[in-house]
Amino acid sequence: MSVLMIAMLSGVGFVVAYHTYGRWLARKLFRLDPNAAVPSAQLNDDRDYVPTAKSIVFGHHFTSIAGTGPIVGPALAIMWGWVPALLWVVFGSIFVGAVHDLGTLVVSLRNRGMTVGEIAGRVLNPRARLLFLFILFFALWVVLAIFGWVIASVFTMFPQSILPVFLQIPIAIWIGVKVHRRGKNLLFPSIIALGLMYLTVWFGAACPGVAWTGGQLGNAIQGLNQSLAAWPVWVWVAILLTYCYAASVMPVWLLLQPRDYINSLQLVSSLGLIVLGLGVAALLGGIAPMTEAARLPLELVAPAINLAPHNAPPLLPFLFVTIACGAISGFHCLVSSGTSSKQLKNETDAHFVGYGSMLLEGFLAMLVILAVAAGIGFGWSAKFGALAGPELWQQLYADWSAVTGGTAIGAFVVGSANFLEAMGINHAMATALMGVLVASFAGTTLDTATRLQRYVIQELATTFAPKATSADGSAVRPGFSMNPLIWLTNTHGATFLAVSTAFALALFPKPGDPWTWATIGKGGLILWPLFGATNQLLAGLAFLVVTFWLWRRGLPVKFTAVPMVFMLCLPAWAMLTDLGNWWNQGQYLLAGVALLVLTLEAWMIIEAVRLWSKVKGVLEPMLPPLPPRPPRRGNVTTARSNA
């Protein structure tokens, strides 16, 4: 089957699924109501709860969920063959991942924007809430520690991506102020922002095509890129977490929303360029037309099915853990219920944001598979000389244990850049575009994860913090207290703990490396082997919460219960397998944490089984009435409604 035909059929499948199964879920199962009250209006605080146009929320949601997961996972799992990877991405996105994202978004909308952990306490019981929150804290802790290293690795491999990533921050703030405070229409600022962002990519690539002052400007930019890429990993982690602190405590409309939105414009347009390049390469052949070499035919160089890659774990269950974000990811339930539900200004927008974003991420994962399985066949001269086609594939993917996340990211960047070069785009510009795409995806996930961790810490601190009592007997919080739990209920206190604990973990070297200034900063890799299965277990537990919410209302549950069982069993199977291997290899820390996670999961499942027969048709207690709110200055929603 031709590469172009695979891409076209997959894309058509996603579009059809959105307008059929996705629409049915939105209208018939979850019964989205355009007139329903939404948290962004009920609790509008101009910081976290802000009524926002669905196009902006879509941009935030998509860039937050689509980190490096849909790139690294498929680029690794392709070792079992492109066929099983592609099937899991397409059908997993449609019937599992998109249902998960939509369900958690709707349930949060119906519970005043609560996180899925808080909702677990309402639809199950308070113990389930605490179990869920502790699992969330662990998962986000690892995400924050590892993603700083991932971005630093991208900067090292593709230095031309550094300047664009940071130059886009002031552009985001500009568009945030323009749209939110001044009530400007979104179209014109979006066009300007997109043009400026591509200009930053061109600038970061040393201005290809223009020889200003005899090439001195280009040489200066290249020198700056190389010097920045040489900074130690721990320095980049510190810089990135400092940025994340600011993004977490700032009003969501000032930096997080607009940066995610303008990044989504660039990322979606870049995906469009990949599709166009794939089409040109399929019809005319690969290699840029300005080279003297003849065009090469676009062919799949990866095996269709390979059930026994060297040193790889078995396809079942590890395929479904390795490919996470490209098909389903527990991290998505945090974005749906942590930030997106606090911004939607209309309940029916959940279909577009929740279901649609996941399908677009599945489409991205499909393009990753094709870029690695076919696009890389044109060669990777920078690293492997004249190798191309099947020979290059064998060089890169000869041994599972030797394929790292950096190798997978590099394979995607080079393969997709080859598609762009087939259209005549300069090699430096093509590589910069794809490097910025990866770094931007990782960056938007990192700053959103910081905000989510802040919510989790605040919820846990609020649970355990001592409560003061006023004269009338009502509970109040003291304005100042030396108790650290009181401090952690504050936005700045919770955010500081989130970034400081992540930095503390990141400061360790990766296992086996000595303690030096050059090796520290990779500590997230210590617990990273746990993340895949933990992340997928989290998706299963989120499905459990959504299923209980439906069950209490007497609504059909098979559409969430079947994927729930699937996502509880397969990741647990994978983690049990890894646990045994880690124990036999003397990796007792990994084995101990894995056992703890499995224990928390089993405990939560036991709680659910005990309640199942008792709560059918029994609604959870009503939320307390909202306190009266003083009138707000300005018309925030009007500025957004024009967007």
Q: What distance in Å separates the CA atoms of residue 50 and residue 52, rounded to the nearest whole number? A: 6
What is the per-residue pLDDT for 487?
Answer: 84
Q: How far apart are CA 494 and CA 456, in angstroms?
A: 9
Would you say 3 and 282 are in contact if contact means Cβ atoms under 8 Å apart? yes
As a residue count, the chain comes to 643
At 151-192, the pLDDT tens digits run 888 888 888 889 888 988 898 888 888 777 666 666 777 888
* pLDDT number for residue 176: 81
CA 217, CA 207: separation in Å to the nearest integer? 8
How far is it, in rounded angstroms, from Cα 109 to Cα 107? Answer: 5
Beta bridge partners of 52: 344
- State pLDDT tens for residues 502-561: 999 999 998 888 888 888 888 888 888 888 899 999 999 999 999 999 999 999 999 999
Tell the burial category of 361 from Cβ atoms under 10 Å away from its Cβ (0-12, 13-18, 19+): buried
Domain regions of the chain by residue span: 3-467+477-621
Q: Which two tokens stand for residue 254?
A: 């000032």
Q: Which element (helix H / strand E) includes 451? A: helix 427-464
Regions of the chain where pLDDT drops below 50: 213, 381-384, 469-476, 478, 480, 633-643
Distant-in-sequence, close-in-space partners of 351: CB < 8 Å, separation ≥ 6: 22, 23, 25, 26, 32, 102
Topology adopted by domain 3-467+477-621: Amino acid/polyamine transporter I (1.20.1740)
Instruction: For residue 149, give both structure tokens.
Output: 């290293």
pLDDT in tens, 444-462: 888 888 999 999 999 889 8
CA distances from 371 to 149, 160, 266, 629 (A): 24, 21, 19, 53
